[in-house]
Amino acid sequence: MLSFGALGFTAPVLLFALAALPILWWLLRAVPPAPVRRRFPGIALLLGLRERDPESQRTPWWLLALRVGALAALILALAGPVLNPQRVVPGQGPLLVVMDASWASARDWPRRIERVSRALDVAQQAARPVAVVALTAPPVGAVEFRAPEHWRERLPGLTPRAFAPQAATDWLDALPEGIETLWISDGLARDSRGALLAALSDLGPLQVFEPATPVLALAPASFSGDTVSLTLRRSQGPAQDLTLLAIGRDPAGIERDLARQPVAFAAGERAVDIEFTLPPELRNRITRFQVAGQRGAGAISLADDSLRRRKVALLTVRANSEALALLSPLHYIREALADSADVIESASLDDLLLAGPDVLVLADQPGMTEAEVEAVTEWLNEGGLLLRFAGPRLAGAGLNAAAGSVATRGEDPLLPVPLRAGGRTVGGAMSWGDPRSLAPFPDDSPFTGLPVPGDVGIRAQVLAEPGPDLAARTIAALADGTPLVTRVSRGAGQVVLFHVTANAEWSNLPLSGLFVEMLDRLAVSTRGSLPQARELSGTTWQPEELLDGFGLLHRADDRAAVSGEALAPVLAGTTPPNADLPPGLYAGAAFRLAVNATNAQTQLTLADWPAGTPIESGFAQPELPLAGYLLALAAALMMLDALATLALGGRLLRAAGVAVALGLAGTTPQLAQAQEVSPRILEATESVVLATVASGDAQVDATALAGLQGLSQALFLRSSVEPAAPMTVDIERDELALYPFLYWPVIETSPILSSDAYARLNRYLRSGGMILFDTRDAEISRLTGGTTPAGRRLQRIAAGLDIPPLEPVPADHVLTRTFYLLADFPGRYRGGTLWVEAAPPGAERAEGMPFRNLNDGVTPVVVGSNDWASAWAVDETGMPLLPVGRGTTGERQREMALRFGINLIMHVLSGNYKSDQVHVPALLERLGQ
């Protein structure tokens, strides 16, 4: 192969032909285009005229260039040009393909697979054994070297995992000497890489395939107030514009983008902070953050229960005191929490605890029974937050032993600190001081950082008994050091006491914005920070949904639960997620935790390979054969040449006209087809059309059609039904929905229908169509016997039909009175039994009614054997076609046959109308009253 830079030729010898191009130029130049001969009388005026451009005596230079260019393209195409020719190094010995297959590989996974596939191709040509090892799913035991075909089948099954590769295990030790390694790297440095690299380098040559595209890692979100902040990091790369999506379920439960934020990386910038400012309603719904258009678990950050709305239970005042709303101790709490939490209220503590609240608020309610205290304590131990407010009753509880409560001094387990009875009042009319203001919040307090407004004044408070742990339990204090808010842990939960009232009675704290922020901090802090290892110990967590390497969530209910001890280091970021603990959502007893593929500790430094390692940096341009393009170019140039030659000869317009005419001629038939409408359908929709089913026997079909003609004629004359000419339908092909009634003469050779036709027929019957089966054999069509050939055929045909149970037509069936009153249903023969849909079993004749109240619908099929069509049949002049019976009796029979037909069509068209006529006397009687 000859190559110039990125261009190579597989057959370079042919390039010598390019030397002939100048000769061609010279040849072509001498030969102008052939002239057009024209007779022209005005030639006398032309003699002696010269063209303006003497050069045009020769072939114009651009036409020459066109032709030479076409030929050059042809020569180049035949020389087999290839862009970016791949140097195929056959290599020797077994080939080991090591794939990182981590979350960082997911972004361009198909190209990695393609690279492996290419390596397999090469190995296959050299008949080398191959082993493919995904480091995130290392083989158990020794690596098996197999034929490339074996691995080719398994390539599509290789997927990246959502965690980083594990340190090599025993498979590395079992590798034979003299293997060649192709390492499909994800481009990130990690500790486990060094040992593996050293081991593989010792075994044989090592080649690395590594992308140059940046790896994105989205760290878990952190929340402060209304802002959700995330950090998107990347390994390297030029300026890049991305979009970060906050995805969650809308109120209808449909997953959609709740918010989006542009992310702009400057060139070389490694990390960008993104902040979402979201109303709590939206924030509570977010399930994950995702970089739009980026594949891979690294571009996803799952959000867990720390975003959820708190459920806050308010114990309403039990006494039926009709206090004003603004005086209600719960009013300000309700207002403060309404936007950010689900508030439930009840006067029953049991009800509230049953609802499983995150927070229970007790405002100045000291009196609790022992059972209640026990229940609350149990709830606290499971992780609840009890938020209490002081008040006159709490202050007075210690004084009044007769209150019957256990809230005596020092012993109340539901108070963070023991309280001194009575409390104190400052800044009142009878006191000596001003209202006390707040001291700045201490550093270890959950309120740290909240600004203390100067206008908040405390006029009264309950005081804590001094004790050794009072200072540790105080999370907010007044300027004089007395505690304002105290907190203590109880089991997994905690108890917080505001030493003032929840309303504005003792202080104006509830009126300030600080109050809302404090409540927010407290409510959020219930689950806001990640659980500590201490809290996790002894718990179990069931994986609910797990991330795959591409960043898709999969149900994982079948996975074994993990222990809290194992989860803690992963959450803390000290241990990366691994195969035993993949990224995903883990459900605990009360809430869910998200383990993300990456966190703030995940390293995003580029892998550092020892000097001399051949690295296919980035994704080398794939080998691209150019012969096809050059051939197309040559063909296009030749077409241009043809057009140019026509233009030079002044014949271009005419040629274009011919081409347009040909194009038009080609398109017109399609236009004609689009207009086609079946006249048959049009005709059938014009009016009522009776139809007969083709039986395959021409004589029978003709008689059936003539019979329907006769029936249509009789209907036209005697009733308001005015049918159009009857039609013959082909069950297999024609649309049945257009016909209300099908007459189906069954003969011995009637075709058995296809399953498709059965489906259509059943649909027809269910949607209100009616079929009259006529075996035409005068035999008693007792279907149980199946005595005649036509009868047996009918059984076979009807086997596939959705036909209800049948019975011989009862004497009071509506068919006997839809138009004429009939006792018998003769056709050309008489006496055959007529079968219709069986009446419901419970039908009884009502008192005073001539008929039973039978089935409400129209029977979908009527089965008989009396050859009605022959009795109905008329010729073109409207005269009877076939003889029926003898003499006047026969004519009477024909008349009865026609009356049956009319009754039948009336039954089809008007349904159970006549059946309802039974009720007319009753209706009239009722109207009379």
Partner 1 sequence: MSQPAAPLLRRHAEALSGALPPLMVAAEHLANSMLPGAHGRRRIGPGAEFWQFRPSAPGDAATRIDWRRSARGDDLFVRETEWQAARAVTLWVDSGAAMQFSGDKSRDSKAARASLLAMALALVLLRGGERVGLAGAGLPARAGRGQAELLAYALTKEAQPEGEHGALDLHSAPAGGHVVLFSDFLGDLDHVEAALDVAAARSMRGILVQILDPVEEDFPFDGRTRFESMSGHLNYETLRAADLRGDYQARLSARKDRLALLARQSGWHSTTLHSDRPAAEGLLWLYHALGAGGR
Rounded to the nearest whole angstrom, what is the least distance from the CB of residue 679 to partner 1 in the complex? Answer: 42
Q: Map the footprint of partner 1 across residues 637-696, applying CB under 8 A.
A: 647-651
For residue 239, what are the contacts with CB-CB under 8 A and spacing of at least 6? 264, 265, 266, 267, 269
* Residue closer to partner 1, measured from CB, 555 or 654: 654
Angle value at C-alpha 193, between 189 and 198, nearest 5 degrees = 130
- Taking the C-alpha atoms of residue 769 and residue 911, their distance in angstroms, rounded to an integer, is 11
H-only helix segments in 260-341: 280-285, 331-337
* Least separation in angstroms between CB 113 and partner 1: 58
Q: Note the Cα 441 to chain centre separation in Å.
A: 49
Pick from 13, 49, 140, 430 the residue near partner 1 by CB under 8 A.
49
Task: Report how far residue 68's alpha carbon sits from residue 20's, in angstroms, rounded to the nearest whole number.
Answer: 10
Residues between 847 and 886 with contacts to partner 1, criterion CB under 8 A? none
**Interacting stretch for partner 1, rule CB under 8 A, among 42-50, 151-159, 527-535, 882-890?**
42-50
Distance in angstroms between the alpha carbons of the first and the last residue of the chain: 110
Tell the smallest beta-carbon distance from residue 660 to partner 1 (Å): 20
895, 880 Cβ separation under 8 angstroms = no
| CA–CA dist 901, 770 (Å, integer) | 13
Number of residues that make up the chain: 929
The pair of three-digit structure tokens given for residue 738, joined into one six-digit string: 């257009």
Q: Closest Cα to residue 515, out of 331, 311, 307? A: 331
Interface region with partner 1, contact rule CB under 8 A, candidates 15-23, 39-47, 325-333, 621-629? 39-47
Task: Give the DSSP letter of residue 320.
Answer: -
DSSP-assigned beta bridge partners for residue 241: 264
User: In 3D, which of 748, 724, 704 has the Cα closest to residue 869?
Assistant: 704
Q: Which two tokens stand for residue 577?
A: 């997620």
**Closest CB to partner 1 among 635 and 648?**
648
Nearest approach, Cβ of residue 654 and partner 1 (Å): 11
Least Å from the CB of residue 114 to partner 1: 53
Which of 13, 19, 31, 43 touches partner 1 by CB under 8 A? 43
* CB nearer partner 1, residue 43 or residue 821: 43
CA distance 544 to 590: 14
Nearest to partner 1 of 554, 654 (CB atom): 654
State whether residue 771 is helix, strand or coil: strand
Number of Cβ atoms within 10 Å of the Cβ of 558: 6
**In this structure, what are the phi and psi dihedrals at residue 464, rounded to the nearest 5 degrees?**
-90, 150
Nearer to partner 1, 41 or 157 (CB): 41
Least Å distance between CB 115 and partner 1?
57
Please, what is the minimum distance in Å from the beta carbon of residue 618 to partner 1?
A: 54
Least distance to partner 1, CB of residue 61, Å: 14
Contact flag: residue 57 with partner 1 (CB under 8 A): yes
| Smallest distance, partner 1 to C-beta of residue 57, A | 5
Cβ proximity to partner 1, 113 vs 648, nearer residue: 648
31 contacts partner 1 (rule: CB under 8 A):
no
Strand partners, 483: 477
8 A C-beta contact, residue 36 and residue 650: yes
Shortest distance (Å) from residue 70 CB to partner 1: 21
Q: How far is the CB of 637 from partner 1 (least distance, A)?
A: 21
What is the C-alpha to C-alpha distance for residues 102 and 577, in angstroms, rounded to an integer?
Answer: 11
| Under rule CB under 8 A, residue 53 binds partner 1 | yes
Residue matched to tokens 């009634």: 741
Interface pick for partner 1 out of 5, 23, 35, 251 (rule CB under 8 A): 35
Residue 39 engages partner 1 in binding (rule: CB under 8 A): yes
Query: x/- binding map, residues 399-438, to partner 1, per CB under 8 A?
Result: ----------------------------------------
* Element of type H or E holding 815: none
Q: Is 32 in the site for partner 1 (CB under 8 A)?
A: yes
Return the number of the residue (41 or 454) whose C-beta is nearest partner 1.
41
User: To the nearest whole angstrom, how small is the minimum distance from the Cβ of residue 45 to partner 1?
Assistant: 4
Q: Are 282 and 248 in contact (CB under 8 A)?
A: yes
Smaller CB separation from partner 1, 649 or 885: 649
State the number of binding residues for partner 1 (CB under 8 A).
Answer: 27
Q: Which is nearer to partner 1, 13 or 46 (CB)?
A: 46
Question: Closest distance between partner 1 and the C-beta of residue 652, in Å?
Answer: 9
E strand segments, 435-552:
460-464, 474-477, 483-490, 493-498, 540-547
Binding span for partner 1 by CB under 8 A among 31-39, 195-203, 740-748, 814-822: 31-39
Among residues 10, 25, 33, 280, the one that binds partner 1 under rule CB under 8 A: 33
Whether residue 294 contacts residue 108, with contact meaning beta carbons closer than 8 Å, is answered with: no
Between β-strands 310-315 and 300-302, what pairing exists: parallel, antiparallel or unpaired? unpaired
Question: 508 vs 645, which CB is nearer to partner 1?
Answer: 645
Nearer to partner 1, 51 or 557 (CB): 51
Assess 838 for contact with partner 1 (CB under 8 A). no
> What stretches of 398-444 show up as alpha helix (H) in DSSP?
none
Contact call for residue 52 and partner 1 (CB under 8 A)? yes
Q: Which is nearer to partner 1, 44 or 821 (CB)?
A: 44
Interface with partner 1, residue 38, by CB under 8 A? yes
- Rounded-to-integer distance, Cα 359 and Cα 313, Å: 6
Burial class (CB in 10 A: 0-12, 13-18, 19+), 147: middle
Q: Which stretch binds partner 1 (CB under 8 A): 41-49, 199-207, 826-834, 921-929?
A: 41-49
Which residue type sits at 520?
D
Count CB-CB contacts under 10 A for residue 542. Answer: 16
Residue 915 neighbours by CB distance under 10 Å = 23
Q: Does 64 bind partner 1 (CB under 8 A)?
A: no
Select the residue interacting with partner 1 from 37, 534, 733, 886 (CB under 8 A). Answer: 37
In the bound state with partner 1, the residue whose beta carbon lies nearer, of 35 and 850, is 35
Six-digit token string for 241: 């514009």
Among 34, 140, 674, 698, binds partner 1 (CB under 8 A): 34
> What x/- string results for residues 147 through 176 when contact with partner 1 is judged by CB under 8 A?
------------------------------
- Kind of pairing, strands 95-99 and 130-134? parallel
Who contacts 539 (Cβ-Cβ below 8 Å, separation ≥6)?
Answer: 563, 564, 588, 589
Is 158 in contact with 182 (CB distance < 8 Å)?
no
One of 45, 267, 402, 698 touching partner 1 (CB under 8 A)? 45
In contact, 510 and 332? CB cutoff 8 Å: yes
* Least distance to partner 1, CB of residue 617, Å: 57
CB of 30 to partner 1, least distance (A): 13
Query: At its nearest, how many Å lie between partner 1 and the CB of residue 658?
Result: 17
| Interacting residues toward partner 1 by CB under 8 A | 32-47, 49, 51-53, 56-57, 647-651
